[in-house]
Amino acid sequence: MTSHDDRSPILVWFRQDLRLDDHPALAHAAETGRPVVPLYVLDEESEGLRAWGGAHRWWLHHALDALGTALKEHHLPLVLRRGPALREVVDVAKAAGAGALWYNRRYGPGERAVDEAVAEALGDLDCQGFTGTILHEPEAVQTGSGGFYRVFTPFFRKLQSLGDPRDPIDPPKHLKTNDTSVRSDRLADWNLLPKKPNWSGGIDEAWQAGEDAAHQRFAAFQEEILAGYKDSRNLPAEDGTSRMSPHLHWGSVSPYRLWHDAQARGKGAEGAGAYRRELAWRDFNYHLLFHVADFTRANYDKRFDRFPWRKSPKDLEAWQQGRTGYPLVDAGMRQLWQTGWMHNRVRMVAASFLTKHLLIDWRAGEAWFWDTLVDGDAANNVSQWQWVAGCGADAQPFFRIFNPIGQSRKFDKGGDYIRRFVPELAALPDKAIHAPWEAGEDVLDEAGVALGKTYPKPIVDHEEARKRALDAFAMIRG
């Protein structure tokens, strides 16, 4: 494409940064005083990109609707296009007479390949990528030998030595509209929302997408939860987490904004420190995604390529449906299906149960989470699954096998979380609700529980499953 003068429009390509606040590409474009053309491309065709899951698509619809509304206040229409990004971005750039394409960087290998191909196709247009979705660029955090960190603790020490991340950038006050209109799809025509029967009712009740909702939720978190976050984040029955994961995944809020707001509100407090550590853990996962080409598909620890995973569609389905007979696991899987989200402590227990109690490949669980989580994230989802399965870069030892009964008794002591999502067990006393099969028949009868009828018997014995898992690991150790 031909070069343009410094008065030509800047095409701002939105991706997983669906906000106006602390959006470096948009903010710097606004500072130039040049017209701005905001664009979102739904690319389900380019090689190396993964199609969004069902829960993703629900969130994306509402987040784009909110972004379009926010841009309308600046008299800017959000241009929507569906198709390969290489084709659609180049077409919009030509139609708008753009002289520049600015965006916030992406870190997956497929996304980076698409961005490089688009920049090459645009020739001498000014294509710039900014840092807006993680706290530190992967190239900026290196070991003493110039490599990347494979273990979180030294990675976190390195981040701390770099000082605080940059300050967030306030949303632009003025955005100049382009004189040339550009064809745009209608969001409704993308059919991102489920058809009848509508399975998203629980997600509708649990979540509100968009930038305003993200800031409102985080303000409430700071006011009511942050001080005790270090402990409350482990209790699934409580509203003790920030619930920012989908907002971070879709970029309706900036990690810089969260980092500095948490620091300002809780400086020196344990809760604020624990929360910033979680943001750093997110960065660590993205750095792994950047540096390890097959991270989302392959075992980081290649010993696990020989691991004797079981293929059991019946067991996988029982796990997916929350019918394993282990109440905490089942509560988590049902929370996931109903709300598009699962408490992080329970995610670890459920993932451990699939990979170690059932010996089912972590990739089967990751695929289910990808389709059902509103925050299903290429970096975080895969990293957590590999961590739990024992095959990741900074994995827990394989022999650490979460006991779902012990975890339940420790973190859902009164059984409130189980009662909410496994209501057929609600009448059981606290002592019995974590392992109903250990209760006497009189206790079960009084609670209206008939094992194998109203609630499943355990599909596997914990101690037998633990031994089977350790024996399987012994086959690949060394």
Catalytic positions are 278, 281, 309, 344, 362, 385
* Cα 3 from Cα 100, distance rounded (Å): 9
Pairing of strands 79-82, 35-42: parallel
User: Which strand (E) or helix (H) includes residue 35?
Assistant: strand 35-42
Cβ neighbours of residue 17 under 8 Å, at least 6 residues apart?
23, 25, 104, 132, 133, 251
3-state secondary structure of 176: strand
Do 177 and 75 meet the contact criterion of CB atoms below 8 Å apart?
yes
* Cα 352 from Cα 390, distance rounded (Å): 9
The DSSP call for residue 402 is -
Pairing of strands 10-14, 35-42: parallel
The Cα angle at residue 196 between residues 192 and 198, in degrees rounded to 5: 70
**449, amino acid identity:** V
* Cα 371 from Cα 201, distance rounded (Å): 16
Structure tokens at 405: 């009964």
Do 352 and 388 meet the contact criterion of CB atoms below 8 Å apart?
yes
Structure tokens at 207: 């979540």
* Cα 342 from Cα 332, distance rounded (Å): 6
Helices (H), 238-361: 245-250, 255-265, 270-291, 313-321, 327-339, 344-352
